[in-house]
Amino acid sequence: MRPADAADESERVAALVARARAAMDRFSDADQARVDEAVTALAWSIYKPEHARELAEMAVMDTGLGNVDDKITKNQRKTFGTLRDLMRARTVGVIEEHPDLGIVKYAKPVGVVAAVTPSTNPAATPVNKAMMAVKGRNAVIIAPSPAGLATTTRTVALMRAELARIDAPEDLVQVLPAPVNKALTHALMQACDLTVVTGSQSNVRAAYSSGKPAIGVGAGNVPVIIDASADLDDAAAKICASKTFDNATSCSSENSVVILDAVYDAALEALARAGGYLADDDEKRAIAATLWVDGHLNRKVIAKDADVFAREAGLDERAQKARFLMVEESAIGPEHPFCDEKLALVLSVYRAANLDDAIAKVRRILDVKGRGHSCGIHTRDLSHARRVAEEVDVVRVLVNQAHTFGNGGGFDSGLNFTLSMGCGTWGGNSISENLNYRHFINITHLATTIPEDKPSEEALFGSYWKRYGR
């Protein structure tokens, strides 16, 4: 980039940041009720049925990814669940008191937040992050994917209109102006107080190297085990619903299923009853040639309906009528793409001799991509689920759940709603939980004296001295 261009990007960003800081100043005296009113306004801007549909239609038209009905569901369900979580949290003034420790905690804003959002969710993710940021009395500037710019710009306009409706500062939420590019996004990362990135790993790495605090999320590539004790039809129905939702655009979509040998054939039959089509060897080769072109995912078929993919691959009418395609695979490694993330309605199927073998295969798949993100197991034996949690380096292990619906929060599990899943240091991230409002507040600790809490040397060292001597 020429120096003049860099200066221009910095000036454009500086103007946005100045407006954001002015909005924060106006909002700084807001009490919890006022903050919650603003968060509710942001939620309603996308939850409102006509807006949820409008933004879903725009997203599919702009990006060519996913489908309208599921994006409507995502726009509303994720927003509703996030609002539920946020309304139960305190983020203004005293948020915790621990008299026994003499500690009182006060919440403070983190500042101006840069929220980098992906093309797969150009409406839902900006609102999700804006709600969390404003919950902490911060301002947020959205840096959208260029492919989703029009949808995100419209989404931000709706959020700003709803803020204006309640007489809250509109500049609490802004969006980078067109043309959006990496240089402008990187300038924003360097000018803000915190960057939160959902999307490409190149953006995550750029945020970490920006010189400012950053929270990034890792890549998904979810493998799920079908245990010998699983309810096979229940497991198949949940895998199908999750895999096909929004045409597999979610990072939480199942990419591989590892089936124990004892139920392998029966599980495949259950998956077929749920809507899966099992490809033969020739069809598998056609699917591979269609899904990957010159080593890259083919944008003509990713996140498209199954019939579109099947026709493009030259598969017959039976495959075209299926809800998703299945390929049997045994190889795992970087040179075997079926074990990688596919962003398409293609599910890789592995056979495992027993639970030990299944866990080993899951770990190897995640070593190719997705380490730290998540995995799942369908089982009636909770001890098997505990083994997966103990032995696999992921932040989330879902048990008997449709992964796409449960991983980022559900109404029947304790995970908070989010569209950004931290993957821990395994995935190169600074958080090992679902992104939530706590990541958007600073905390002041008021510490007062308490009765002395100082154990004796014997209490702390006694067992060590007894075993090893002094």
**Active-site residue list:** 251
Sign of CA dihedral 72, 73, 79, 83: positive
Amino acid at the residue 401: Q
Contacts of 292 (CB under 8 A, 6+ apart): 298, 337
CB 20 within 8 A of CB 134: no
324 phi/psi in degrees, rounded to 5: -155, 165
Question: Is there a cis peptide before residue 179, judged by omega within 30 degrees of 0?
Answer: yes
Q: 427: how many CB neighbours lie within 10 A of its CB?
A: 26
CB 106 within 8 A of CB 94: yes
Partners of residue 441 on adjacent β-strands? 109
d(CA 216, CA 199) in angstroms, rounded, equals: 9
Bridge-based pairing of strands 214-216 and 194-197 is: parallel
Helix spans in 226-337 (H): 232-244, 264-274, 281-291, 306-312, 317-320
Three-state SS for 394? strand
d(CA 40, CA 48) in angstroms, rounded, equals: 11
CB 260 within 8 A of CB 266: no
Tokens describing residue 127: 């609102």
- Residue by residue, DSSP assigns 14-53 as HHHHHHHHHHHHHHTT--HHHHHHHHHHHHHHHHSHHHHH
Bridge-based pairing of strands 296-297 and 103-109 is: unpaired
Bridge-based pairing of strands 112-116 and 103-109 is: unpaired
